[in-house]
């Protein structure tokens, strides 16, 4: 009967060695024993295969646990240490099941190290004026956020020490337990899923690798932003635990209401009340614009309430583009409510001269009314 060499002895590691130590030992031996370095020597090739077999077992926490308990017998004749009911090799079945469904069930990286816990994204709401939205602006904002601990540089360990691979899960961040026919996988109770444990936590962050801090950031608001525009500052969110990547900061823009203008995209709308004499005789009115200019708008003779006059290229700038939208002036004819005696006299004289052709729409309307009621 052939005697098999103990896997730990083969790799030159103690039985309580962590996953990192075992991996380093394997790499060193694999490089030294590779057949290509020894001209295809059969002896070195056999040793190379034995080292790979040992590492393949010990790198997997489940297989390692079985080997520690049963030795080589754990994998003899179908795997005595992993047998379930009916003699099925449950460990092999679990691996096949994971290969097929692992990605769907979030287990595609079950055999690798756990994903670093990225910091949370943060939101900041900023209100600006329409003029600031037109020109763009630079602003400093102050936020309360969890930042990387300066004392331990985000590692969570006291300076001069470092985190160690968790011995319970072998750095996987999760452990498996057999319940009947199924294997239940859960976060490692020793490292809470981190894959590492800290024997001497940093006093300032208590092993978290991050502390609460106040940070001032400079934000550039581009010209043309609108209500709800979102600006992303990559890596300016909450710091990740134990050196993991930070989240992002999102600036949500809110444009304050303007006393004169309403906005729809790049189009500006302005309400312009005019006197009935200007509406009748025509004229020119001036409209101030967010760009700092004053635009003269020509009022044609006989304009009616509700008429819109468009001034092209006088609206809001296109966000991250070229050109501008339009300025639309909505006309509202205002009827006078306080008249002097002289003004009333002049209006009475005007009414006496009316023929009905001055306001054809109203004349036509009343003609239709009379016809509708039988003349």
Give tens-digit pLDDT for 120-167: 899 999 999 999 999 999 999 999 988 889 898 888 889 988 888 888
Q: What's the pLDDT at 77? A: 52
Binding site annotation covers 188?
Answer: yes
Please check whether residue 183 is in contact with residue 152, taking contact to mean a CB–CB distance below 8 angstroms: no
Per-residue pLDDT of the chain (375 residues; tens, 9 = 90+): 445 788 888 888 888 888 888 888 888 888 888 776 776 678 878 888 888 888 888 888 888 888 887 787 777 654 444 433 333 334 434 443 444 344 344 443 444 556 567 888 999 999 999 999 999 999 999 999 888 898 988 888 899 888 888 888 888 888 887 766 677 888 888 887 778 888 888 988 888 888 888 999 999 999 999 999 999 999 999 988 877 888 999 999 999 999 999 999 999 999 999 998 999 999 999 999 998 889 999 999 999 999 999 999 999 999 988 899 999 999 999 998 889 999 999 999 988 888 877 777 766 555 666 666 665
Cα 243 from Cα 187, distance rounded (Å): 20
Q: What's the pLDDT at 184? A: 81
Cα 314 from Cα 255, distance rounded (Å): 19
Going along the chain from its start, the domains and CATH numbers come out as: 7-87 (1.10.287.110), 122-154+203-255 (2.60.260.20), 261-371 (2.60.260.20)
Give tens-digit pLDDT for 280-321: 999 999 999 998 889 999 999 999 999 999 999 999 999 988
Q: What's the pLDDT at 325? A: 94
Cα 230 from Cα 368, distance rounded (Å): 55
Binding site annotation covers 202?
Answer: yes
Mean pLDDT, the chain, integer? 82
Please check whether residue 197 is in contact with residue 190, taking contact to mean a CB–CB distance below 8 angstroms: yes
Please check whether residue 46 is in contact with residue 99, taking contact to mean a CB–CB distance below 8 angstroms: no
Q: What's the pLDDT at 95? A: 43
- Count how many residues are written for the chain: 375
Binding site annotation covers 359?
Answer: no
Cα 296 from Cα 299, distance rounded (Å): 10
Binding site annotation covers 57?
Answer: no
Distances (CA, A) of 271 to 192, 267, 268, 286: 62, 13, 10, 12
Q: What's the pLDDT at 309? A: 95
Cβ neighbours, 10 Å, residue 369: 9
Which residue in this structure is represented by tokens 């790979």?
A: 52
Residue 22 burial class via C-beta count within 10 angstroms: exposed 0-12, middle 13-18, buried 19 and up = buried
Please check whether residue 307 is in contact with residue 299, taking contact to mean a CB–CB distance below 8 angstroms: no
Q: Are strands 249-255 and 230-233 parallel, antiparallel or unpaired?
A: antiparallel
* Residue 281 phi, psi dihedral angles, 5° rounding: -100, -15
Binding site annotation covers 13?
Answer: no
Q: What's the pLDDT at 374? A: 63
User: Which tokens go with 370?
Assistant: 């009379």
Binding site annotation covers 41?
Answer: no
Q: Are strands 174-179 and 283-288 parallel, antiparallel or unpaired?
A: unpaired
Nearest residue to 312 (alpha-carbon basis) of 289, 328, 291, 330: 328
């Amino acid at each position: 009967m052939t005697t098999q060499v103990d896997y730990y002895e083969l790799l030159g590691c103690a039985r309580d060695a962590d996953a990192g130590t075992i991996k380093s030992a394997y790499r060193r031996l694999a490089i030294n024993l590779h057949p290509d370095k020894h001209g295809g020597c059969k002896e070195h090739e056999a040793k190379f295969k034995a080292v790979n077999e040992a590492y393949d077992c010990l790198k997997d926490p489940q297989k390692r646990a079985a080997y520690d308990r049963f030795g080589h017998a754990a994998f003899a004749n179908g795997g005595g240490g992993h047998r379930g009911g009916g003699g099925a090799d449950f460990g092999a079945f679990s691996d096949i099941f994971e290969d097929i469904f692992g990605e769907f069930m979030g287990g595609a990286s079950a055999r690798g190290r756990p994903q670093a816990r990225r910091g949370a994204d943060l939101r900041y709401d900023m209100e600006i004026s329409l003029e600031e939205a037109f020109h763009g602006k630079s602003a400093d904002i102050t936020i309360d956020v969890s930042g990387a601990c300066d004392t331990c540089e985000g590692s969570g360990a006291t300076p001069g020490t470092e985190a160690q691979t968790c011995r319970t899960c072998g750095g996987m961040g999760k452990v498996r337990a057999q319940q009947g026919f199924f294997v239940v996988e859960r976060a490692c109770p020793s490292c809470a899923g981190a894959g590492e444990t800290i024997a001497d936590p940093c006093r300032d962050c208590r092993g978290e690798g991050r502390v609460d801090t106040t940070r001032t950031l400079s934000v550039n608001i581009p010209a043309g932003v609108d209500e709800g525009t979102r600006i992303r500052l990559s890596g300016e969110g909450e710091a990740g635990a134990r050196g993991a990547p930070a989240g992002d900061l999102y600036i949500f823009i809110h444009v304050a209401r303007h006393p004169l203008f309403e906005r729809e995209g790049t189009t500006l709308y302005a309400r312009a009340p005019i006197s009935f004499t200007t509406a009748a005789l025509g004229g020119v009115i001036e409209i101030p614009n967010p760009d700092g200019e004053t635009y003269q708008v020509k009022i044609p003779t006989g304009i009616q309430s509700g008429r819109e006059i468009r001034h092209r290229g006088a609206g809001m700038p296109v966000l991250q583009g070229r050109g501008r939208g339009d300025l639309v002036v909505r006309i509202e004819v205002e009827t006078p409510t306080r008249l002097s005696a002289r003004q009333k006299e002049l209006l009475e004289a005007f009414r006496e001269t009316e023929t009905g052709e001055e306001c054809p729409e109203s004349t036509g309307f009343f003609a239709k009314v009379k016809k509708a009621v039988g003349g």
